[in-house]
C-alpha cells in the first residue's frame, strides 16, 4: 500500500532513504498540504493531523476546504472508442456517463 485515506482525502506515500522518512502530500487538492513521519504510526498520525489542520485552517479563513475531486472528468478518446463505448452503454441500458462511471469504478478497484 502506498497511499493513505482519511475523511475523503488521500495521499500517496513515498520513502526518503537518505533521511529515513516517509512523506506524503494530499492528492487532488491545489493547496499544498504535506506531512512526514519516521515510522508508519507517526506517518498516519501526521497525515490525520494534516487533514484536520487543513479543514480547521479553511474554517478559520472562512473558505470551504477544497474537495479532492469534483466528479467531473473531461478527456478525449479515439472516435472509434467513443462509438464502441456509446454502443456498449446503450446495450447495457445506461447513459454513457453511467456506463463509464461503472467501468472506471471497476477498473480503479
Assign 3-class secondary structure to 57-68. Answer: HHHHHCCCCCCC
> What pLDDT sits at residue 40?
93
* Per-residue confidence band for 1, with pLDDT thresholds at 50, 70 and 90: low
Q: What is the pTM of this model?
A: 0.66
Q: Can you tell me the distance from the alpha carbon of 45 to that of 54, in angstroms, rounded to the nearest whole number?
A: 14
> What pLDDT sits at residue 13?
94
Q: Can you tell me the distance from the alpha carbon of 86 to that of 92, in angstroms, rounded to the nearest whole number?
A: 10
User: Looking at residues 100-109, what average pLDDT do you find?
Assistant: 90
| Residue 26: other Cβ atoms inside 10 A | 23
Percent of the chain scoring above 70 in pLDDT: 96
91 half-sphere exposure, CB direction, 13 A CA radius? 6
Amino acid at each position: 500500500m502506498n497511499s493513505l485515506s482519511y475523511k475523503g482525502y488521500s495521499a500517496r506515500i513515498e520513502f526518503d532513504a537518505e533521511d529515513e522518512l516517509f512523506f506524503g502530500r494530499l492528492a487532488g487538492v491545489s493547496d499544498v498540504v504535506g506531512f512526514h513521519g519516521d515510522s508508519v504510526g507517526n506517518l498516519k498520525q501526521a497525515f490525520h493531523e494534516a487533514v484536520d489542520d487543513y479543514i480547521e485552517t479553511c474554517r478559520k479563513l472562512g473558505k470551504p476546504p477544497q474537495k479532492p475531486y469534483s466528479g467531473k472528468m473531461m478527456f478525449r478518446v479515439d472516435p472509434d472508442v467513443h462509438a464502441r463505448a456509446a454502443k456498449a452503454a446503450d446495450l447495457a441500458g445506461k447513459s454513457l456517463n453511467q456506463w463509464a462511471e461503472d467501468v472506471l469504478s471497476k477498473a480503479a478497484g
